[in-house]
Structure 1
Amino acid sequence: MCSVGTWADTPIHFIDFEGNRTSGILEFGVVTLQGGTIAATRTRTCAATGRVSAEDTAVHGLRAESVQGELPFAHEWEFFAALRERGPLAAHFANAENSLLKSVWPYPRTAPDFARPGRDAHEWGPWIDTGRLYPQAFPQLAEAKLERLVAAAGRQAELDALAAAHCPPHRRRYHAALYDALAGALLLLALLRRPEFAGATLPWLLQASTLDPGRRGALQQGDLF
């Protein structure tokens, strides 16, 4: 691990989206971790930019009519660009969130490169990814689905208590954006509070979340990502 400050020294923004490239982002949830605790949360629903299928609604519970009249997700540029400037983004299997974010804004503003301190970055990633970290830390786990990991970590009651405090009453369930973001944030905290990860740094977390050998090597050696 790097000798820079630990993971708790910088805000980490855990993100979840509901929606897809066809419907657009219909809901976002953001949980900011700082100092090893949940420092802030934010969520809202967003107007669809395309068709919302019945199959999609069966998963996330959102219909085009229920988000009609909401501001589209693109209205949130300033919020998400500022998040990226303050700390790295995190998600559970982050490829989905990264892809959706890039479909709206291909690039953020110039921001610090938290994987390689002292440099600037021009991408939303690399991301801290609990969907990649947990299978490496606990290879005995049969699968890395969010709900299964929360149960295995013994965090379901804590998640439900947090949801009661932070989530809209009708969105306190899996496949609701802030609920899932809280679940992922709890998993990350549970992992990083283990003694073997006490000294984890952001560069190490970002490297460990990157499975591609070429990209991981670039982060470790300071090459372009």
Structure 2
Amino acid sequence: MSWPAQTIHFIDFEGGATCGILEYGVVTLRGGEIVDTATRLCRATGRVRPEDVAVHGIEPMAVAEEAPFTEEFERFASLRESGPLAAHFANAENTMLKSVWPYARQAPDWVRPGAVSTEWGPWIDTGRLYPQLYLGLESARLEELVGRMRLQNELDRVALELCPLDRRRYHAALYDALAGALLLRHLATEPEVAAQSLPWLLTMSTLDPDKREAMTQGDLF
């Protein structure tokens, strides 16, 4: 089965090492369509630095009464069971997720049919995929890629429907997750890319040569 037909969960977090996860956004793609979204603010676990507020716009008082992100294990473990996780430069999301829960529940490996894993990854990573598939890109930054692929108008249209009123901008979790999901969906407009398998997409998202070699053991393709 080609990868666009699969269920894929695109994730973005806002926060940091000091304050923890302050906001999450999740966009679920299935068959190339957005079928579900989720987002909320989360109580800080430490100091929210002014320089971080300048980026994501989340003031400490805005999250003071919110439930902490630690209450979301069931949601994220269930996502991991139903499809691979995706992010734009996924190392940040993987690091933040593992800082809260080092392991997920046992779930399909998604690279090796029939195998299981308790890791949150491997991730589909649009930040790694685009430079490999579109040679000569000057930048793989999220906002610049959205503009380069002429997806900004569509992003704003979808955000108007799905994002909270005051979070329809870059560095808001659901908005950024939508941007990444549209970039991932855009890859399916390239026939040679759309025809590939999910293990291929996951392997191409991994730049580390040792990890990539390990993922390709067993004639994945």
**Fraction of identical pairs, as percent:** 63
Match for 1:87 among 72, 83, 86?
83
Corresponding residue for 1:27?
Answer: 23
1:125 to partner: Cα distance: 0.3
Is 1:177 the counterpart of 2:173? The answer is yes
The two structures have a TM-score, normalised by structure 1, of 0.96
| Structure 1 counterpart of 2:132 | 136
Structure 1 residues 189-208: Cα deviation after superposition (integer angstroms, max 9, x where no partner): 00122112121211000000
Aligned length: 219
Question: Which residue matches 2:95?
Answer: 99
Structure-1 residue corresponding to 2:121: 125
Distance of 2:162 and 2:113 partners within structure 1: 33
Q: Is the 1:192–1:200 contact (alpha carbons within 8 Å) kept by the matching residues of 2?
A: no
| Structure 1 residue 71 corresponds to structure 2 residue 71 | no
What residue is the counterpart of 2:203 in the other structure? 207
Unaligned runs of 5+ in 2: none
Query: What amino acid is aligned across from residue 72 of structure 2 in structure 1?
Result: E
SS at structure 2 position matched to 1:77? helix
Residue range with higher mean Cα deviation, 93-102 or 189-198 = 189-198
Deviations 1:70-90 (Å, cap 9, x if unpaired)?
A: 000010000000000000000
Runs of 5+ unmatched residues, structure 1 = none
State how far apart, in whole Å, the 1-side matches of 2:145 and 2:4 are: 22
RMSD: 1.0
TM-score, structure 2 length as denominator?
A: 0.97
Could you tell me how far apart the structure 2 residues matched to 1:215 and 1:54 are?
37
Give distance in 2, aligned partners of 1:122 and 1:66: 34
What displacement does 1:115 show?
Answer: 1.1
Shift of 1:222: 4.3
C-alpha distance in structure 2 between counterparts of 1:222 and 1:96, whole Å:
29
